[in-house]
C-alpha cells in the first residue's frame, strides 16, 4: 500500500436507527439512509474536516434502505437524491428540497438497492420483488428496462462501462444482462446471498456476499478471475477506485477492510456490529454507515485525520466494544450467566438445561430425574464465519428480518415461518400470516400476542379505535383490553391445531420435544433456567 493508513476523520450524528445506505456527491456532500425512515444530507463546512446536517428528507413510511445521487448536469443543474424504502417506493428529490418531487411505485416489495447509471441522468433499482429496473430521470412514467430472471430477492445492481447491467441475488446468482433485458451470463460461485456489486474495469467487476467472500468476475467471458478472503462474516457493501487497485468492503464482522492489488492491506475495526454500507469520495476518503446509527468518514490523508482527542476516544470505544463482544456467545451475555452454585439446587423437570459460567469456560448441564443430578452436556462455544447463526441476522426467502419465528401447525407437518421486523404492526403481520397460509381467523390474537411477547424490544402498538385492519376491515385486539377471544399463553413457540379451530389447544403438559429457534434470552436467563 503506497499511501498512509486510513484513520477516523469525521463522525456524523443524527440518525436514531441503523444507517443502511450512504452515497456522496462529487463536492463531498454525503447522503445517508436509515431505518429511522429518513434520509439526511450532510455538507462539508469548509472548516477542516467538519460536516453539518443540512437537510432531513421525508416522504417514506418505512425504513429507508437505499440511496444514490445524480451529480448536477447541464440538463439538471441541481442534481438529484434518490431513495428507496421498505414501503416499496422510490422517492426522487432535487438536491435542495426535503420533499420528493416524484414518487415511483413500480416495485412490489422493498427497494433494497439503488445505483447511479453510467449514462447521464440514469439510475438503477433492485428489489425484494425479484426484479431490477433501469430508469431515466427525465421520464419516470415507466422503467426503461425491466429485468426479470432471479428466483429470490435482488439485493444489488450495477451498470458496467461496456453497457451491460449486473445483478446479484439471494438465489446466489450473479446475472449479466444486455440493455434490452436479455440474459448474457448466469454466474455461479457464491454460496450465499449476493449483497453488493462494484465495477472496476470495462469488462470486470467485483461482488460480495453473505458467504464472507469477494469475487472478481469478467463480464464478457462470464468467468471468475479470483476470490478475496479476509472477512469473518457477511459482507454487505463494496466500493473501489475505477481500476480496482484499491477496494473497500464492510460487513457483519465489525470491520471495514481495505484491499490493495487483491491483498488485504488494512482492517479498520468499528465500535458497532454491522457496517452496512460504504462509499468512496473522489479524494480517496471513505464514508460508512452502521448499526449504531452513526455515519463515519475515514481518510488516508493525515491532514484530514481527526484531532488526537477524537482519535483516542474512538480507539477507546473500539477497545470497549471488542471486549464486550468477547463476553457474548450468540445472544447470551456471559457475565449474566449464573455460576456453578446454581447446580446445587435440583432441577424442576427431567431434561431441564442450565448454562453456567464456570470462569474458564461456559458449560451446559442437563437435569437427570432418574439420577437426581445435573449431568454435563458440554462446553458452549461461539462460532465465526458468514452464517445466519453467527451474524445474528434472520433471512427468510432471501429477505432480511429482525425475527423469523417457527410456527407448528400440526404433527407431521413442517413448521411455517413467520417473519417480522421491529416497528411493524404485529396485528398486520399476524393477519398477513393467516391469510398467506389459509389459517383460521381465530388464531389472529394468538399469533399477534406471540410476536409481541417474543420480539425485543416490544413493538409499538397503537391503541386508537380508528385502526382498520387492511385485510378484514375490522378493528384489532390490544393486549390488556380484555377483548381477547383466546386464553392461550404462548411463551416459546405457538403450535396450532388445524383439526379443531373452535377451541384452544392445550400446551400443558408438554409431552414432546419443543424446539427453541427464537426466544427472549434475557428473560430466560433472568430466571436461571431454560
HEC profile of 314-327: HHHHHHHHHHHHCC
> Regarding beta strands 111-116 and 122-127, do their DSSP bridges make them parallel or antiparallel, or are they unpaired?
antiparallel
pLDDT in tens, 394-428: 888 889 898 998 887 777 778 889 999 988 899 99
Q: What is the structure's pLDDT at 342?
A: 86
Q: How confident is the model at residue 320 (pLDDT cuts 50, 70, 90)?
A: confident
Contacts of 464 (CB under 8 A, 6+ apart): none
Residue (of 233, 230, 229) closest to 252 by Cα position: 233
Distance between CA atoms of residues 206 and 167, nearest Å: 11
Q: Are 171 and 182 in contact (CB under 8 A)?
A: no
Strand partners, 81: 69, 93
The cell numbers describing 188, all together, are: 455461479
Residue 34 contacts residue 293 (beta carbons within 8 Å): yes
pLDDT for res 331: 56
- SS3 of 384, please? coil
* 390-403 confidence digits (pLDDT tens): 777 888 888 989 89
If residue 260 lies in a helix (H) or strand (E), which one and from where to where?
Answer: strand 255-260
Question: Which tens digits make up the pLDDT trace of 478-508?
Answer: 333 333 333 233 333 444 433 333 333 444 5
Lowest mean pLDDT among 278-282, 330-334, 389-393: 330-334
State residue 357 phi and psi, 5-degree precision.
-90, 110
Residue 409: the pLDDT is: 72
Residue 182 sits at φ, ψ, to 5 deg, of -90, 155
Phi then psi dihedrals of residue 443, to 5 deg? -90, 0
Q: What is the DSSP string of 184-219?
A: EEEE---SS-EEEEEEEETTEEEEEETTSEEEEEET
CB 82 within 8 A of CB 123: yes
Cell 403481520 belongs to 429
Asked whether the predicted pLDDT for residue 204 surpasses 50, the reply is yes
Maximal C-alpha separation, the chain: 83
Say which residue the cell 463480464 belongs to: 219
Structure confidence at residue 325 (pLDDT): 62
pLDDT of residue 512: 62
| E strand or H helix at 432 | helix 426-436
Give percent above pLDDT 90 in the chain.
60
Tens digits of per-residue pLDDT, 77-115?
999 999 999 999 999 999 889 999 999 999 999 999 999
pLDDT greater than 50 at residue 261: yes
Cα gap 66→39, rounded to integer Å: 9
Residue 46 CB contacts under 8 Å (≥ 6 apart), including other chains:
none
User: How far is 433 from 453, CA to CA, in rounded Å?
Assistant: 17
Residues 332 and 355 sit within 8 Å (Cβ to Cβ): yes
Q: How far apart are CA 445 and CA 430, in angstroms?
A: 8
**Residue 174 in this model has a pLDDT that exceeds 60:** yes
Residue of 485, 393, 417, 405 whose CA lies nearest to 450? 405
Closest by CA to 496, choosing from 383, 413, 419, is 413
Cα–chain-centroid distance for residue 429? 19
| C-alpha pair distances (Å), 279 with each of 25, 194, 285, 296, 505 | 10, 18, 9, 11, 53
CA distances from residue 38 to 41, 78, 83 in whole angstroms, order as listed: 10, 21, 9
pLDDT, position 382: 53
- Give yes or no for a contact between 474 and 432, defined as CB atoms under 8 angstroms apart: no
Q: Are 232 and 249 in contact (CB under 8 A)?
A: no
pLDDT, tens digit, 9 for 90 and up, residues 430-480? 999 999 999 889 889 989 998 998 886 544 433 333 444 444 444 443 333
Residue 229 has pLDDT above 50, yes or no: yes
Amino acid at each position: 500500500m503506497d499511501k498512509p493508513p486510513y484513520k477516523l476523520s469525521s463522525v456524523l450524528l443524527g440518525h436514531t436507527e441503523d444507517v443502511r445506505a450512504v452515497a456522496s456527491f462529487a463536492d463531498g456532500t454525503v447522503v445517508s439512509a436509515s431505518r429511522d425512515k429518513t434520509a439526511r444530507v450532510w455538507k462539508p463546512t469548509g472548516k477542516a474536516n467538519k460536516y453539518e446536517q443540512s437537510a432531513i428528507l421525508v416522504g417514506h413510511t418505512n425504513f429507508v434502505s437505499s440511496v444514490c445521487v445524480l451529480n448536477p448536469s447541464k440538463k439538471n443543474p441541481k442534481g438529484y437524491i434518490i431513495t428507496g424504502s421498505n414501503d416499496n417506493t422510490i422517492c426522487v428529490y432535487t438536491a435542495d428540497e426535503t420533499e420528493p418531487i416524484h414518487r415511483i411505485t413500480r416495485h412490489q416489495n422493498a427497494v433494497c438497492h439503488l445505483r447511479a447509471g453510467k449514462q447521464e441522468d440514469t439510475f438503477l433499482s433492485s428489489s425484494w420483488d425479484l426484479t431490477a429496473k433501469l430508469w431515466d430521470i427525465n421520464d419516470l412514467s415507466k422503467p426503461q428496462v425491466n429485468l426479470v430472471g432471479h428466483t429470490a430477492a435482488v439485493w444489488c445492481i450495477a451498470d458496467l462501462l461496456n453497457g451491460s447491467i449486473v445483478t446479484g441475488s439471494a438465489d446466489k446468482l450473479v446475472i449479466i444482462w444486455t440493455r434490452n433485458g436479455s440474459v448474457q451470463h448466469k454466474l455461479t460461485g457464491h454460496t450465499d446471498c449476493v449483497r453488493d456489486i462494484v465495477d472496476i474495469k470495462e469488462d470486470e467487476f467485483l461482488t460480495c456476499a453473505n458467504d464472507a467472500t469477494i469475487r472478481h468476475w469478467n463480464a464478457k467471458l462470464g468467468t471468475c478471475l479470483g476470490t478475496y478472503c479476509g472477512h469473518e462474516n457477511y459482507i454487505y457493501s463494496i466500493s473501489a477506485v475505477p481500476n480496482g487497485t484499491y477496494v473497500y468492503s464492510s460487513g457483519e464482522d465489525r470491520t471495514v477492510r481495505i484491499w490493495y492489488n487483491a491483498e488485504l492491506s488494512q482492517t479498520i475495526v468499528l465500535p458497532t456490529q454491522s457496517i452496512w454500507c460504504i462509499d468512496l469520495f473522489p479524494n480517496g476518503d471513505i464514508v460508512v454507515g452502521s448499526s449504531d446509527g452513526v455515519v463515519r468518514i475515514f481518510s488516508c490523508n493525515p491532514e484530514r485525520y481527526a484531532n488526537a482527542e477524537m482519535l483516542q476516544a474512538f480507539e477507546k470505544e473500539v477497545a470497549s466494544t471488542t471486549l464486550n463482544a468477547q463476553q457474548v456467545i450468540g445472544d447470551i451475555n456471559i457475565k449474566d450467566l449464573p455460576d456453578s452454585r446454581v447446580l446445587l439446587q435440583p432441577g424442576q423437570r427431567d431434561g431441564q438445561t442450565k448454562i453456567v459460567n464456570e470462569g474458564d469456560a461456559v458449560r451446559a448441564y442437563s437435569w437427570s430425574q432418574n439420577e437426581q443430578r445435573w449431568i454435563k452436556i458440554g462446553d458452549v462455544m461461539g462460532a465465526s464465519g458468514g452464517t445466519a447463526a453467527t451474524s445474528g441476522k434472520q433471512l427468510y426467502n432471501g429477505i432480511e428480518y429482525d425475527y423469523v419465528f417457527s410456527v407448528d401447525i400440526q404433527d407431521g407437518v413442517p413448521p411455517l415461518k413467520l417473519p417480522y421486523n421491529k416497528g411493524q404492526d404485529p396485528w398486520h403481520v399476524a393477519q398477513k400470516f393467516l391469510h398467506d397460509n389459509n389459517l383460521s381467523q381465530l388464531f389472529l390474537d394468538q399469533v399477534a400476542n406471540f410476536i409481541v411477547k417474543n420480539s425485543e424490544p416490544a413493538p409499538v402498538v397503537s391503541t386508537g379505535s380508528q385502526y382498520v385492519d387492511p385485510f378484514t376491515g375490522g378493528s384489532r385486539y390490544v393486549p390488556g383490553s380484555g377483548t381477547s377471544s383466546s386464553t392461550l399463553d404462548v411463551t416459546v413457540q405457538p403450535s396450532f391445531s388445524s383439526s379443531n379451530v373452535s377451541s384452544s389447544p392445550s400446551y400443558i403438559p408438554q409431552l414432546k420435544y419443543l424446539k427453541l429457534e427464537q426466544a427472549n434470552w434475557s428473560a430466560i436467563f433472568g430466571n436461571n433456567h431454560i
